[in-house]
Amino acid sequence: MSKNKHAELLVIGAGPGGYAAAFRAADLGKKVVLVDRDKVMGGVCLNRGCIPSKALLHITKVMDEADSLSKMGVTYGKPKIDIDAIRTHKDKIVSQLNNGIASMAKARKVEFVQGSAAFESESSVEVKTGNEAQSISFDQCIIAAGSSSAMLPGVPKDNKNILTSKTALDLENIPKTMLIIGGGVIGVELGQVYATLGSKVSLVEFLPNIIPGADQDIVKPLERKLKKQFDSIMLGSKVVEISEKKNGLLSVKIEKGSNTDVFEYEKILVAVGRKPNTSYLNLKATSIAVNKQGFIDVDNYQRTSVSNIFAIGDISDNPMLAHKATHQGKVAAEVACGEPSIFDPKAIPSVVYTDPEVAWCGLTETQAKEDNTPYSKAEFPWAASGRAIAVGANQGKTKILFDDESKTVLGVGIVGPSAGDIISEGMLAIEMGSDAEDISLTIHPHPTLGETFALTAEVFDGTITDLYIPKK
């Protein structure tokens, strides 16, 4: 084993948080070594998650839009699906971004080492690459090792027809029938991809609603769309048994209350969440504290219980989102370099990149009711938006929650095209402590979907002219 490598700062994991931390530290003058199990940087988000899924969602969104144009007088022929070409397109996008990150690492003189890192002590790790291993010592370390797909107990192992979010994006083929287990973000996004490409998709969710983190009035337009696209949506139901049939199909026993039904599917996608990758790191060689959920305990500076070791992203806490990891990575890097920095956001946005998109940030109405938090609410239906009507998005809605006393923004929920872009305005409002008047007096361009944010504030102020709201 070679023991001749030393890093002023070692970063374990080259996902969005890890490479952001490495690059920021390098910009601040640190000698940085970046380690990842993959041969390329970018992590799950770039290589097997956010980016390839959005590439596929864009394709399916355009397909759906082309189909909907028939109502506007434009008719196209039935689309021809070339799955190999679609896969190549997806892979090309990923490769392009991989190359971009590699170029930025080279420009910053960040050394990239491919291999699996495990702690030897609180100042060194062993990195295994195939049959070879090397020891890397460090002054400081940032753990950005991410998370992995969680699996249901009792699911047959090593069955190529049982997919995770990773393997589902490989697009080996388009199955005739597919069951999605889990009605969260990943489940509905990938379910919509496969349904649009031709699969007969069913979805089963243990909870009574899909996208449980969002307010259900915001989710409803998406749910209505999915009910048309999917063969069935089974809520309040759970999978109790999966078995392999001789004909290659998968037999699934699904329980709802006292009723049990058995269905057969060509493929199953398990999308029941993710778990932090703490088990791979040999943390027992350190005194790093880990909580019951498997997350590494950190403070607002992203420091672990070991002063020279930091943790960021999925491995440190929920929500498991790339943009959260990126910000935490910069904070950890800056603190490691002696810069004043802290991770203390007022909110973190969430987006479901389906058609229609669903986005929210800050306090949800569900949370407010559960916590007995006083609030006022204003909504603007996109059925009153000229732009939304023009693009067939009249099912959309913008909702803002305001503090009863200060009238500042507490939370925002949006459903409709580009909701994921518009939600950034909500985030800025929360971070800046904007009130309804700040928003309503900010002139928004017309006609846009973004102006629905200002119009919602006008509803709250009672200055709206695009709707008639009788005075109380």
Pick the closest to residue 229 from 63, 69, 342, 418 (CA basis).
63
Contact 242, 157 (CB under 8 A): no
Contact 456, 400 (CB under 8 A): yes
Contact 247, 418 (CB under 8 A): no
Round to the nearest angstrom and report the end-to-end CA distance of the chain.
78
Contact 380, 459 (CB under 8 A): yes
Query: Is the omega angle on the peptide bond into residue 208 within 30 degrees of 0, that is, cis?
Result: no
Look up 446 and say whether it is catalytic: yes
Distance CA 191, CA 232 (A): 11
Contact 264, 250 (CB under 8 A): yes
Strand ranges (DSSP E) for 318-430?
Answer: 350-352, 358-362, 376-381, 397-402, 409-415
Distance CA 391, CA 353 (A): 18
Contact 316, 295 (CB under 8 A): yes
Contact 442, 431 (CB under 8 A): no
Structure tokens, 64: 């759906």
Question: Of these residues, 6, 323, 444, 446, which one is catalytic?
Answer: 446
Distance CA 376, CA 403 (A): 6
Contact 233, 226 (CB under 8 A): yes
In the block, residue with structure tokens 């393997």: 167
In the block, residue with structure tokens 């944010």: 453
Residue positions counted in the chain: 472
Q: Which residues contact 92 (CB under 8 A, 6 or more apart)?
A: none
| Chain-centroid distance, C-alpha 98 | 19
Structure tokens, 121: 């002590």
Residues that are catalytic: 446
